[in-house]
Amino acid sequence: MSRLFALAWLAVVLLAGAHLVWRAAEGLHFQTDLTALLPREERDPALQRANDVVTNGLAKHVVLLFGADDREKARAAAADIAGRLAAEGLVSVATGGLDKNRLQSLGRLYFPYRRGLLSEDDRRRLLDGRAGDIANRALSQIYGFVGMADARLLRQDPFLLMPAFFSSLPIPMSRLAVDDGMMSLQQDGMTWVMVAGQLNGGPYALDVQRRLAALLDEGSLRAARPGVELLRLGAVFYARAGAEQAMSETSEIGLLSTLGTILLVLLVFRALSALWLSLLVIGTGVMTALSASLWLFGELHVGALLFGVSLIGVAVDYSLQYCTEIFGAPASPALRLRRVRAGVTLGAATTVIGYLTLFFAPFPGLHQIAIFSAVGLVAAWATVILWLPLLDRSAVPRHGRRLLAFGAGLASLWEDRRYRRPRRAAAILLGVAALAGVPRFHVDDDVRHMQALSPDLRVQQEHILRLIGDTAGSRFFVIEAADEEGALEREEALADALRPLVADGALRNFQALARYVPSAARQRDNRRLLRRLLEEPLLEGHLRQLQLELPPMPTADQDEAGPALTPSQVLSGDGPLASLAMLDMGRVNGVVTHVVTLEGVADVERVARAAGGLEDVRFVDPTESFTLLLGKYRYRALLLTGLSAVLMVPLVMGRHGVGGLRLLVPPLLAVILTPALRALGGAAFTFFDAMALVLVLSVGVDYAVFCAESRGERRQVTLLAVALAACTALMSFGMLALSGVAAVHAFGSTMSLGILLAFILAPMAWADEPGGPADGHWARLAERGTWLGMRLILLLYRIAGRRGCVFLLWLIVPYFYLTDGRRRRHSLDFLGRVRAFRGEKPPGWRDGLIHFMSFAEKALDTVIAWSAPQRTGAIRMVGAEAIRQVAAEGRGGLLIVSHLGNADMCRAHQAKLFGRPLNVLLHTRHAVHYNRILRAIHPDVEARTIQVTEIGPETAIDLKERVERGEWIAIAGDRIPVLSRTRISRVSFLGHPAAFSQGPFILGALMDCPVHLMFCLREGAGFSMYFETFAERRLEIQRKSREQILGDMCQSYAHILERYCLKAPSQWYNFFDFWA
């Protein structure tokens, strides 16, 4: 059977391999856009699209400046490169400025509409009543040293408004001028010639990057054209630098972490078999993961690859778990596998859950990481389970004993009493360091800090911006309107708000379509202004001065109805201003959407406020929103950590019961301590740290699972394997911490620290003693309220108070109610019997939930009672006189308590009641847990809890002595002994025969003392303790009818218990089949 599965798995692996080979032959596609790892904008589509268009436009923009002290040299270099870029089809080189042809076609296009086109300044002059200034400007241009005047132009446009309009256009990069066909500028004796254009292809396509880099290679350029300096600006260059870094890091990290792992395995196992088995596991894991990712996504993100490579460190864990077993008791490979199979499977399941939660994050890159890792881990797991035992030919190593001794030494660090003080010191140190880190904890979501931008390119970029002036920044406005005209009108309103900001330097410039093509309304208004304020008062005199005839003028009506220039005329594919097409995004969801880009924003706040009050105009700051978004996802990543912890709960509980929750303690502690310790070192907490915590949890739970699965002797072997696993993980994630990319560095650092902590803390998950899976006996049921649970409740109570705790319990208990079918059935069974006994209808699911809640509250009350007895609320005593009487006489007695209500209350308040110690007999190993929690609260109570499984003569004598000293003995009357099923009587309880222990009554008879019953029920905000006298002096059992008498005693106890049960059925805490 297992061979069949192994063969099937072989088929899958071969298929994956074939797929990979086929894809590799086609050429693998790698995506290098680091932002693809980041979340998508989470807003409406218009904004999203605007962001995409602007960002893509900016991303594809390439600016090259060739500088030399000799004009011809710079021009020749620029012409050469521009020609080669065009020839290779890499970049569509744009002339940028207005050359002769573009100026002429612009003139031809605009000229018919000239009456509606006024420069912003001329419009202001007319509105301010300074029409004379316009006339004077025309005259000074005509008569002055600079002759703008062209006869044809003058006759049509005697005020030279058209040239004024053109020179007012905010054409980008206006610091440059066309010098003999090339955009150039002179500064400090250098001539700079620009080659600019749009990249043909994505800036993140590796192929494009490679070809561009080859063409612009600095070395060859310097050799070919000495004295020519090249400055570059464009996302593609940054992407290239990032990709180069990521690629070299990927191969370096992959290589180093593989080499380290190999070395470690060789060192530990001193055999090639363990190495090749481990390599087989890693190999199938990585190959299958690669194949699956390529199949699902078509391409692979370099970042995903980078994170995915660190998978090697996790995948090898499973093979190490298996291989280390060779040092344990000698066994066949199949048997060795069986010893680790449960642990490896549970570990893989929890880790895969951790990785798969990454899938909930809406980042394409992280999806790839999630799939890559999950598939890789499952494949590694399958290889370990299905193949390793079949392939394993390992001989028992000779150095096994020494290695085991090492493992034992390692284990003793956690176990041995000798190391208690260092352990405690280390724990305190860790706690203090973490606490010290807390005030230094700070978050940083600024996306600019996450990407490592090449410093050299940044210097070049700044130099370029100093030379050519600002190019469009990443911030912009989005304008929405029902139609094109509406959008233009809104832009004009926005432009009016922005112009004062430009005047006082808060903003250098802005690009808006309406500045090139005013709205139809504005054009009509301009024609009116022109006619009324300029032509009517001044035209005649102006023409006379120029000795010109009055040209044919349109009538006022013609002006009113005159045609308007529209954006589509200007922006059309071969239009003179086609480069502005980015400003008009057309219709998005039926709404006309325009973009206004900003250059040189000095005062972000004021610019952002400019849109305030303008309808359908929104300021967009992608960096800022990216930062906000990263913050949001940092928070969500933490929720994700919580979610994956919750998802792990059913897995660990399914195997270990409630006690399985302790498996989550080490990883959760690691998750909490890591950020605090990182903060101590001054590191900020980022989204990538939060993401790493998800994985710390899942890897950490692996270690805890491996530890929990091992008992006794095997602990040494397991600890050895876990130590090996931690070492390999540290090797791979530690490498990531060395990355120059801030995001990867943060991820790697948090991972390595988290894994180190998870490893150190993992032995906390060691089970206390052997015990198989729970069976029907109550003593073996891991009682709700084990040590861990109690500790947690105590902690919560101190933080949140009772009310807060009850609230939290309402969040937690329904989960247990839903998942723990067995106890739910017992609860409903019990409640059903109570209802039937009373003649009521059967209970619903709500009653069961209330029953569960009541139990949780009981645990809470117990903790409160012990830690703060004064806070338990009022305690009412009913029938306590008899007890007080006995106590006053200095005598002791037997107190039969039950799991109905909270018997612990009487322990907590024993001093008030008895004035003498109360000894509690517990049947079970739970005494150990119980003592631990009590010791934590009351260090002096240890001796008072006596664990008995069977009451023998010595116990009886000891107890008798205690009673004679005036002490009290408490024993539960509603539980039967662990080992014996003989001393029981079947008596009627709630109408059905149930087994009751004769033990308490035999004990009472043996000790020759008064026997009382006690039930402590929660009533309202307080408690009532009900006492019943069972035997005032002593219990007498005649030898002859002993069985009969004990049966009668059991029956009368059962009746009393029944009475109180009916009083408070939801306080019945025997969650097992009582009538079994």
Partner 1 sequence: MRRLLVLLLIVLAPLSPAWSAGPSQTMEPGQVLRGRFVQERHLSGFGAPLRTEGRFVLVPGRGLIWQAETPFAVTTVITAAGLVQTAGGTETMRLPSARLPFLSRLYDMLGGVLGGDWRAMESDFATTRSGDDGNWRMELVPRRAPDQVSMPFRSIVAKGGRFLDEVVLAKADSEDFDRLSFLDQSLSRDSLTGAEASLLDSSR
Q: How far apart are CA 82 and CA 103, in angstroms?
A: 22
Q: Is 525 helix (H, G, I), strand (E, B) or coil?
A: helix
Stretch that binds partner 1, among 145-153, 316-324, 353-361, 982-990 (CB under 8 A): 145-153
Site for partner 1 in 166-185 (CB under 8 A): 174-175, 177-181, 184-185
Tokens of 955: 């116990």
Q: Is 190 in the site for partner 1 (CB under 8 A)?
A: no
Beta bridge partners of 511: 597
Which residue of 1, 87, 151, 943 would you call a contact of partner 1, by CB under 8 A? 151
Which residue of 390, 548, 800, 874 would you call a contact of partner 1, by CB under 8 A? 548
For residues 190 and 408, which CB has a smaller minimum distance to partner 1 in the complex? 190
Nearest CA to 698 out of 306, 322, 355 is that of 355
Q: What is the contact mask toward partner 1 in residues 55 to 84, using x (rule: CB under 8 A)?
A: ----------------x-------------
Tokens of 446: 């600024």
Q: Is 99 in the site for partner 1 (CB under 8 A)?
A: yes
Q: What is the contact mask toward partner 1 in residues 972 to 1001, using x (rule: CB under 8 A)?
A: ------------------------------
Q: How far is the CB of 109 from partner 1 (least distance, A)?
A: 16
Beta bridge partners of 179: 182
Q: How far is the CB of 165 from partner 1 (least distance, A)?
A: 15
Which residue of 433, 546, 647, 764 would you call a contact of partner 1, by CB under 8 A? 546
Maximum alpha-carbon separation in the chain: 149
Q: How far apart are CA 667 and CA 656, in angstroms?
A: 17
Nearest CA to 833 out of 531, 479, 1074 is that of 1074
Q: How far is the CB of 58 from partner 1 (least distance, A)?
A: 25
Q: Is 228 helix (H, G, I), strand (E, B) or coil?
A: coil
Q: Count CB atoms within 10 A of the CB of residue 557.
A: 8
For residues 152 and 803, which CB has a smaller minimum distance to partner 1 in the complex? 152
**DSSP label at 40?**
P
Q: Count CB atoms within 10 A of the CB of residue 150.
A: 12
Q: How far apart are CA 124 and CA 118, in angstroms?
A: 9
For residues 32 and 509, which CB has a smaller minimum distance to partner 1 in the complex? 509
Q: How far is the CB of 137 from partner 1 (least distance, A)?
A: 4
For residues 144 and 439, which CB has a smaller minimum distance to partner 1 in the complex? 144
Q: Is 953 in the site for partner 1 (CB under 8 A)?
A: no
Stretch that binds partner 1, among 15-23, 133-141, 587-595, 938-946 (CB under 8 A): 133-141
Site for partner 1 in 651-680 (CB under 8 A): none
Q: Is 105 in the site for partner 1 (CB under 8 A)?
A: no
Q: Is 142 in the site for partner 1 (CB under 8 A)?
A: yes
Q: What is the contact mask toward partner 1 in residues 418 to 457, using x (rule: CB under 8 A)?
A: ----------------------------------------
Q: How far is the CB of 100 from partner 1 (least distance, A)?
A: 5
How many CA atoms are closer than 13 Å to the CA of 386, on its beta-carbon side? 22
Nearest CA to 901 out of 862, 930, 863, 928 is that of 862
Q: Is 120 in the site for partner 1 (CB under 8 A)?
A: no
Nearest CA to 218 out of 508, 457, 536, 546 is that of 457
Which residue of 84, 100, 466, 965 would you call a contact of partner 1, by CB under 8 A? 100
Which residue of 26, 145, 1020, 1021 would you call a contact of partner 1, by CB under 8 A? 145
For residues 103 and 215, which CB has a smaller minimum distance to partner 1 in the complex? 103
Cβ contacts of residue 449 below 8 Å, gap of 6+? Answer: 684, 686, 742
Q: Is 547 in the site for partner 1 (CB under 8 A)?
A: yes
Q: Is 139 in the site for partner 1 (CB under 8 A)?
A: yes
Q: How far is the CB of 145 from partner 1 (least distance, A)?
A: 4
3-state helix, strand, coil in the chain (%, to 5): 65, 10, 25
Q: Residue holding tokens 């011809």? A: 72
For residues 155 and 965, which CB has a smaller minimum distance to partner 1 in the complex? 155
Q: Is 466 in the site for partner 1 (CB under 8 A)?
A: no
Tokens of 948: 């008995």
Q: Is 141 in the site for partner 1 (CB under 8 A)?
A: yes
Q: Is 137 in the site for partner 1 (CB under 8 A)?
A: yes
Q: Count CB atoms within 10 A of the CB of residue 22.
A: 11
Tokens of 659: 């006690």
Which residue of 16, 62, 118, 154 would you call a contact of partner 1, by CB under 8 A? 154
Q: How far apart are CA 263 and CA 268, in angstroms?
A: 9
Q: Are 720 and 264 in contact (CB under 8 A)?
A: no
Q: How far apart are CA 200 and CA 61, in angstroms?
A: 10
Which residue of 152, 393, 417, 841 would you call a contact of partner 1, by CB under 8 A? 152
For residues 155 and 401, which CB has a smaller minimum distance to partner 1 in the complex? 155
Q: How far is the CB of 161 from partner 1 (least distance, A)?
A: 14
Query: How many residues of this chain bind partner 1 (CB under 8 A)?
Result: 39
Tokens of 898: 């039950």
Q: Are 327 and 720 in contact (CB under 8 A)?
A: yes
Q: How far apart are CA 1070 and CA 1022, in angstroms?
A: 22
CA 110 to chain centre: 55
Q: How far is the CB of 218 from partner 1 (least distance, A)?
A: 25
Strands 968-972 and 918-922: parallel
Beta bridge partners of 183: 178
For residues 136 and 1044, which CB has a smaller minimum distance to partner 1 in the complex? 136
Contact residues for partner 1, defined by CB under 8 A: 71, 99-100, 103-104, 133, 136-137, 139-147, 149-152, 154-155, 174-175, 177-181, 184-187, 191, 545-548
